[in-house]
Amino acid sequence: MTREPHLEALTTEALGARLRELREQSGRSLRSLSRDLGISPSAVSQIERGRLRPSVSRLIAYVSALGVPLSSVFETGLEKEPEPHRFAIRRSWEVASLELSGGVTFRRLSPVPTKGVEFFESTYPPGTVSSAHGRFLKHEGYEVGTVREGELTIEFETDVVTLAENDSITFPCDHPHIISNRSRTVTAVATWLIVHP
């Protein structure tokens, strides 16, 4: 089997263009979306033009406001729906990661969009946080996560939980939360399954 070169990480410009495309497909105006996000229309425009890289929480708020799954950001046109009663496969070199504000990266692990389920890997370099503005994130669904390397801290409004390597957690996504890597030296890697109602 011939190995192909890995796809480059999605650029800020490619992410912005994809977000603009999703917004336009949803029929939402830039101004209407900015009200839902609590930011200026100029900030939304900067994200969509690739001038401003969103944080994890901003990206999830963006797609949630549009009513689309986070996995739709990663759709490249390479995905092929499996034939009925067949399987779908995507090789590692066909997966582009998405670098967000602060250096956090997301990578979709499911080979094709799967209705009702999202499966991701997140990488948090030392000192990174899911929310650039310290705001708690909440969205639809139910989240299941396992830390594969390092440690991640999940801060809820009333609790703080630190997960070490191979620890797991599950919680409703509408429970406000912030995810961070508080280590100064070790990168944290986790896998996340988000199940939508």
Same domain, yes or no: 127 and 40: no
Write down the residue that tokens 């299941």 correspond to. 144
Please report the pLDDT score of residue 9 as a whole number: 66
Does residue 178 sit within a domain? yes
CATH number at residue 29: 1.10.260.40
Where among 74, 104, 122 does a domain terminate? 74
Residues 120 and 166 in one domain: yes
Q: Is residue 70 part of a domain?
A: yes
Per-residue pLDDT of the chain (197 residues; tens, 9 = 90+): 444 444 556 788 888 999 999 999 999 999 999 999 989 999 999 999 999 888 888 898 899 899 888 888 877 554 455 566 678 887 777 777 888 888 999 998 988 778 889 899 999 999 999 987 778 888 889 999 999 999 999 999 999 999 999 999 999 999 999 999 999 999 999 999 999 88
41, with CB counted inside 10 A (0-12, 13-18, 19+), is middle
Domain assignment of residue 130, yes or no: yes
Q: Are residues 176 and 122 in the same domain?
A: yes
Measured distance CA(5)–CA(93) in Å, rounded: 6
In a domain, 83, yes or no: no
**Residues 121/152, Cβ–Cβ less than 8 Å:** no
Residue 87 in domain: no
Nearest to 104 by CA among 84, 82, 122: 122
Tell me whether residue 2 is in a domain. Answer: no
Domain count, the chain: 2
Q: What is the pLDDT of residue 6?
A: 47
| Residue 103 sits in the same domain as residue 180 | yes
Q: Check if the beta carbon of residue 128 is closer than 8 Å to that of residue 180.
A: yes
**Rounded Cα distance, 141 and 98, in Å:** 21
Q: What is the CATH number of the domain that holds 96?
A: 2.60.120.10
Domain enclosing residue 41, as ranges: 12-74
Q: What is the pTM of this model?
A: 0.80
Q: Please count the residues of the chain.
A: 197
**Angle in degrees, CA 164, 169, 67, rounded to 5:** 125
